[in-house]
Structure 1
């Protein structure tokens, strides 16, 4: 169907954000999509911090954005905004890196006080990068994500239902867009 880049902007290897994204990646694969995970924390820090656009890891990350039909952006919320790590990557991408892309923004945080971070912090940046369609995102409370000893993710039932809806809406929008752009013949 479509190629999806699933980007975790969490600096932590054990973050709920990253685990939740990988959980949702499985759902998107179930819809027939090819999902490529990208944990920004695995990129070398120096090129992120010194704006080294030409570093091989940054060039490769940029190419992943170019190849994707859709992008899922997941971030923990810190100080009412998306993570600085995610911001450092977004700043290194071309201005219109999301042109023609369908985007699903997701955020996690410890308090409902951060629920508007998607609409007031992340969405404007994604929009300025040329996203063709930003589907309604979802904010998930940390307490609604449980990670088992074996790494399995369990999401609280009401949250799981809302995330499934957001993910399915993204998948449907992306599928329709890819089909509309497919060559006829």
Structure 2
């Protein structure tokens, strides 16, 4: 059975990125794709900032990546790039940590002006980590993710359609 890991670079527990992540979790569950999660903001901040490669928590997270066939990377856009939270963790992965893995980048931002963050900021770092199979990512505007009651989110139909298409492509690659 194929296994995926979801790496979330969200900086807040209330991020609209959670709406996208919830759709990912529902999809993987429906498709019976085994998965684990890494919420970078829940890793020890000191270990991330000081680059503690020998941190037990970082080692556990890295083991999740190592044992996965595929990685879904989620991040909001900050200052025209992915979050520093995500970068601190990516810096602690082994040099070829994404080798032989299918990678799906999912990004949320405030304006279409940052649409190219996937191609010009995120993909080069993923490639530097050994990724060779980077699927077409999905960029979603934060205005396309509505907060509803009880910390739940709803994607508008166009954004959800693009996300579901990318996830279906992701699942097909995993089955190959």
Return the TM-score normalized by structure 2: 0.96
Counterpart in the other structure of 2:130:
130
Query: Do the aligned partners of 1:102 and 1:131 also contact (CA within 8 Å) in 2?
Result: yes
Indicate the larger mover: 132-141 or 148-157: 148-157
For 1:146 and 1:172, locate their aligned partners in 2 and report how far apart those are by CA, in whole Å: 29
Is 2:150 the partner of 1:154?
Answer: no
Counterpart in the other structure of 1:30:
30
User: How far off is 1:121 after superposition?
Assistant: 0.3
Counterpart in the other structure of 1:104:
104
Give the alignment's Cα RMSD to 1 decimal: 1.0
- Describe the SS at the equivalent of 2:73: strand
- Aligned positions, number: 176
For 1:28 and 1:168, locate their aligned partners in 2 and report how far apart those are by CA, in whole Å: 10
Is 2:145 the partner of 1:141?
Answer: no
User: How far off is 1:153 after superposition?
Assistant: 2.4
Counterpart in the other structure of 1:183:
none
Query: Do the aligned partners of 1:110 and 1:143 also contact (CA within 8 Å) in 2?
Result: yes
Counterpart in the other structure of 2:118:
118
**Structure 1 regions of 5+ residues with no counterpart?**
177-185
**Structure 2 regions of 5+ residues with no counterpart?**
none
Counterpart in the other structure of 1:182:
none
Cα 1:163–1:133 shift into 2, 3 Å: same
Counterpart in the other structure of 2:60:
60
Offset from partner CA, 1:18-76 (integer Å, 9 cap, x none): 33113212112211201212110000100000000001111111111101110000000
For 1:56 and 1:145, locate their aligned partners in 2 and report how far apart those are by CA, in whole Å: 35
Return the TM-score normalized by structure 1: 0.92
For 1:50 and 1:152, locate their aligned partners in 2 and report how far apart those are by CA, in whole Å: 34
For 1:87 and 1:127, locate their aligned partners in 2 and report how far apart those are by CA, in whole Å: 14
User: How far off is 1:138 after superposition?
Assistant: 0.6
